[in-house]
Chains A and B, each alone.
Chain A
Amino acid sequence: MELSTVRDAFDRVAKKQKVSSSKSQEVIDQVGHEIEQTVAKMQSTQDSSTPVDQKSILAALKSKLNTISPQNQLEGSQKELNVNLNKCSKVLEKVFNPDISKAYRNVDFDIHILNQIIANHFYREGLFDAADCLIKEAGEPEAISLKCQFVEMHQIIEAVRSRNLEPALNWVSANREKLTQVGCNLELKLHTLCFVDILQKKSRSEALNYARINLAPFASVHMYEVQKLMGCLLWAGKLDKSPYSDITDITHWEKLVDELIQQFCSFMGQSSSSALGVAIAAGVEGLPTLLKLANVMAVKKQEWQAMKQLPVPVDLGKEFQFHSIFVCPVSRDQSNDDNPPMLLPCGHVLCNQSIVKMSRKGTRTFKCPYCPQDASVSECRQLYL
């Protein structure tokens, strides 16, 4: 990606623009100066002036201006600037893809659905003002319950970020059962941070009190963590020199925020990251391939609009893999309920239809295409991915 060529081309333009601008100033000054001089000449010969003198003075001015030729000068510097402007445009077209809408299909997105998706995205990201503004401008109905839940979530997060753990503790104890069900020890983590905070800012005895009330219930299940925290008491005031120094690490707070968001959203039945963000990110990764494909298929516009499945794979990062897809190495078909993946006795996997074909509908044994081990249909087991 030659961004440096873009920068160079643009710097050249900016330079030429300055040159052109100062040239224009110069030219204007020149012309102004000549005229002023002429006026002075005319006024100095006031007493003995005759119309003839005036005529010749003005004629001299006119021919002087002709020689200076300000319009040509202006045009000249502008021409040079234009050349560089055009060069810069060409560089832009070369370095970037000039038209990313080539892969666009003529299907309209329902504006209302899109606006609601955006509003939900704003709620999740805490941009409540923007969400309200959008709903007003677009005239969409408000998703009140969703908004309230996200408002609550952001209040808790804001509080945690300003080191106030109370709203978080309230929420966590209200959802204690659900959290233990998923095996999440958020409550312990919160109390840990609180405990360390007290230990650093207040006295050892206060910290000990706190531990007795809040950490004790966790002792049975999380003995090791509680023991560690008790050990910290010995280093009150010099925790950063203790063997437990990493407990003072401020990244714990951000990690806690992340985990809070994850659990909160999961209880709401939402994903932990914005769906809109994920879809756009997938689009950014996939668009270059789609544009290449659209280019190749440029002539077959009908086919492009009507296709039910993309003809080429669009490689996305691991983070976009949400489903197990099994592709039979023999038939290249994607497996589904009607054609499930089957495990051969040798450990290799083929789709059911391939096995049916190779075994002549179950009448013969066949050889696995990977290792030449024999197999029969009855030895194959269906897999649930």
Chain B
Amino acid sequence: MEIDALPNGNSPAATSTPSPATTPAGSTPVSKAGQLSESLKLEHQFLRVPFEHYKKTIRANHRVVEKEMSSVISGVSQAADGDLSQDDAVSHLNSLVSRLQGLKRKLEEGNLAEHLQAQRCKARIDHLESVDLENVAEWNNTRVKRILVDYMLRMSYYETAIKLAQSSNIQDLVDIDVFQEAKKVIDALRNKEVAPALAWCADNKSKLKRSKSKFEFQLRLQEFIELVRDGNSMRAITYTRKYLAPWGATHLKELQRVFATLAFRSNTECLQYKALFEPKQWDFLMDQFKQEFCRIYGMTLEPLLNIYMQAGLSALKTPFCYEDDCPKEDPLSQESFRKLASPLPFSKQHHSKLVCYITKEIMDTENPPLVLPNGYVYSTKALEEMASKNNGNITCPRSGLVCDYSEVVKAFIS
């Protein structure tokens, strides 16, 4: 579906725009379809994550095939170059054949997994294409749920994420399985185990290298510190030789600093080195992992909820929101939203936008503002209706002043 920005709804051709507002002079006309198109452009993460997952699966499966194939080929070479008895040669070759058959099975399984992931990607493309002006309310509702599931997953509220996804049937549209992969590593780190994290680094070696990540290095450092903490100085040194030395070229200073912990004990009072023995280091590793993880999958570092909320609250924030008579429909009438919005900048308006106190509708040239003798302003629609039901009398709902409809004057606000 190609959504091109339609012209402003005033033209007779654009019949599908549901709210053709007369925009004040000078501001950019934005049609509903154009807005829809802009909002879809924000959904990079939505498609990128399953796609990265798909790529990863394809590459991992291919590596398996490559490896098995080369060992089979070298197995043949072995038999050809070696001196085996006939029986041995036959059984060796037969074992190669059964390895190939096993490989075929693995290939089929891998193919199935890839197919499922391709389906998921297609389902998401379908979902993006499915939105139109009729179902936009429901589609937006789904978007809110997707954003909330993303938040739950990042905060590690896995049960809530699963419940929410199941109840609204959006399992294909959220990345629970990707995050569960991360959960294993995070839980292990919480238990002070680095093994799953190191395995993850091995799985994603090339990508981590490309982004010049030093996460693996930090994991190794932590393992080293644990060895020192346990008093295993000799093992610590051999560990350094094997695992830390390769990083020395690029991260020498940090390596030296941590290596020096050998000289101290884990209950050292020296501040610089005491910090390295703190359990907080593990929290730091968990955060690092979350960041690397998000980077690899093309996800934003912050939850989508925070990103959208910041933008929304700032766009809605006016000094009037903090007054007592702020209408309840404004989210910023609630204390919790006000607190969240307090460090954010206020919105700015270049043109007047007036809202009738009675009808809550915009007062523009089609529904111009009228001024009572005491200066209070209401929309023409509201006052006309009030006058027609009350013998031409108007009562100001805020000041209580009663006057006749003929006494109001029109105000011209551009």
Q: How far is the CA of A283 from the CA of B334 in the complex (A)?
A: 17
CB atoms of A88 and B51 under 8 A apart: yes
Neighbouring B residues of A184 by C-beta, 8 Å: none
Q: How far is the CA of A318 from the CA of B23 in the complex (A)?
A: 10
CB atoms of A36 and B97 under 8 A apart: yes
CB atoms of A85 and B58 under 8 A apart: yes
Partner among A3, A39, A55, A336 whose Cβ is within 8 Å of the Cβ of B319 = A336
With A10-B121, A96-B42, A325-B349 already in contact, the answer to whether A101 and B300 are too (CB < 8 A) is yes
CB atoms of A74 and B160 under 8 A apart: no
CB atoms of A24 and B107 under 8 A apart: yes
Residue A117 lies at the interface, judged by CB distance under 8 Å to chain B: yes
CB atoms of B300 and A100 under 8 A apart: yes
Partner among B73, B352, B398 whose Cβ is within 8 Å of the Cβ of A65 = B73
Minimum CB–CB distance for A296 against chain B, Å: 15
Neighbouring B residues of A219 by C-beta, 8 Å: none
CB atoms of B94 and A39 under 8 A apart: yes
CB atoms of A31 and B69 under 8 A apart: yes
Neighbouring B residues of A370 by C-beta, 8 Å: 412, 414
Stretch in A162-170, A197-205, A268-276 touching the partner: A268-276
With A28-B100, A28-B104, A310-B314 already in contact, the answer to whether A118 and B148 are too (CB < 8 A) is yes
Residue B315 lies at the interface, judged by CB distance under 8 Å to chain A: yes
With A21-B114, A313-B348, A323-B320 already in contact, the answer to whether A271 and B328 are too (CB < 8 A) is yes
With A101-B301, A113-B339 already in contact, the answer to whether A282 and B328 are too (CB < 8 A) is no
Q: Is the interface of B mostly helix, strand, loop or mixed?
A: helix
CB atoms of A118 and B151 under 8 A apart: yes
CB atoms of A130 and B167 under 8 A apart: yes
Q: Report the interface size for chain B: residues with CB under 8 A from the other chain.
A: 134
Stretch in A56-64, A171-179, A228-236 touching the partner: A56-64
CB atoms of B86 and A310 under 8 A apart: no
CB atoms of A134 and B93 under 8 A apart: no
Residue A379 lies at the interface, judged by CB distance under 8 Å to chain B: no
Residue A4 lies at the interface, judged by CB distance under 8 Å to chain B: yes
Neighbouring B residues of A121 by C-beta, 8 Å: 148
Interface string of B99-120 (1 = CB under 8 A from A): 0110110010001001000100
Partner among B21, B103, B312 whose Cβ is within 8 Å of the Cβ of A28 = B103
Neighbouring B residues of A54 by C-beta, 8 Å: 86, 89
A-B pair count, CB < 8 Å, reads 381
Q: How far is the CA of A27 from the CA of B43 in the complex (A)?
A: 40
Interface string of B308-339 (1 = CB under 8 A from A): 11111111101111000011111101101101
Chain B, residue nearest A34 (CB) = B76
Chain B, residue nearest A105 (CB) = B310
Residue A211 lies at the interface, judged by CB distance under 8 Å to chain B: no
Partner among B143, B158, B315 whose Cβ is within 8 Å of the Cβ of A314 = B315
Neighbouring A residues of B79 by C-beta, 8 Å: 58
Minimum CB–CB distance for A71 against chain B, Å: 6
Minimum CB–CB distance for A337 against chain B, Å: 9
Stretch in A185-193, A237-245, A286-294 touching the partner: A286-294
CB atoms of B315 and A285 under 8 A apart: yes
Q: How far is the CA of A317 from the CA of B167 in the complex (A)?
A: 30
CB atoms of B80 and A58 under 8 A apart: yes
CB atoms of A111 and B155 under 8 A apart: yes
Minimum CB–CB distance for B393 against chain A, Å: 17
With A104-B310, A130-B164, A381-B375 already in contact, the answer to whether A92 and B349 are too (CB < 8 A) is no
Q: How far is the CA of A307 from the CA of B27 in the complex (A)?
A: 23
Neighbouring A residues of B103 by C-beta, 8 Å: 28
Neighbouring A residues of B298 by C-beta, 8 Å: 98
Residue B387 lies at the interface, judged by CB distance under 8 Å to chain A: no
Residue A250 lies at the interface, judged by CB distance under 8 Å to chain B: no
Neighbouring B residues of A35 by C-beta, 8 Å: 76, 93, 96-97, 100
Residue A194 lies at the interface, judged by CB distance under 8 Å to chain B: no
Q: How far is the CA of A285 from the CA of B31 in the complex (A)?
A: 12
Q: How far is the CA of A325 from the CA of B158 in the complex (A)?
A: 43
Minimum CB–CB distance for B180 against chain A, Å: 15
Partner among B320, B331, B343 whose Cβ is within 8 Å of the Cβ of A279 = B331
Neighbouring A residues of B163 by C-beta, 8 Å: 129-130, 133
Neighbouring A residues of B148 by C-beta, 8 Å: 118, 121
Which of B58, B121, B167, B410 has the largest number of chain A CB atoms within 10 A?
B58
With A42-B86, A105-B344 already in contact, the answer to whether A324 and B41 are too (CB < 8 A) is no
Residue A95 lies at the interface, judged by CB distance under 8 Å to chain B: yes
Chain A, residue nearest B159 (CB) = A133
Closest 5 CB pairs of A and B: A283-B312, A283-B308, A286-B315, A282-B312, A96-B44
Could you list some 10 contacts between A and B, CB below 8 A? A70-B73, A105-B310, A130-B164, A271-B333, A283-B313, A286-B314, A310-B346, A322-B330, A349-B413, A385-B357
Query: Apart from A317-B19, A383-B371, what are 6 other A-B pairs with CB-CB below 8 Å?
Result: A28-B100, A42-B86, A42-B93, A88-B51, A117-B337, A322-B330
Chain B contacts to A: CB under 8 angstroms? 1-3, 19, 21, 27-28, 30, 32, 35, 37-45, 47-48, 51, 55, 58, 62, 65-66, 69-70, 72-73, 76-77, 79-80, 83, 86, 89-90, 93-94, 96-97, 100-101, 103-104, 107, 111, 114, 118, 121-122, 125, 128-129, 140-141, 143-144, 147-148, 151-152, 155, 157-160, 163-164, 167, 298, 300-302, 305-316, 318-321, 326-331, 333-334, 336-337, 339-340, 343-355, 357, 362-363, 369, 371, 374-377, 398-399, 409-414
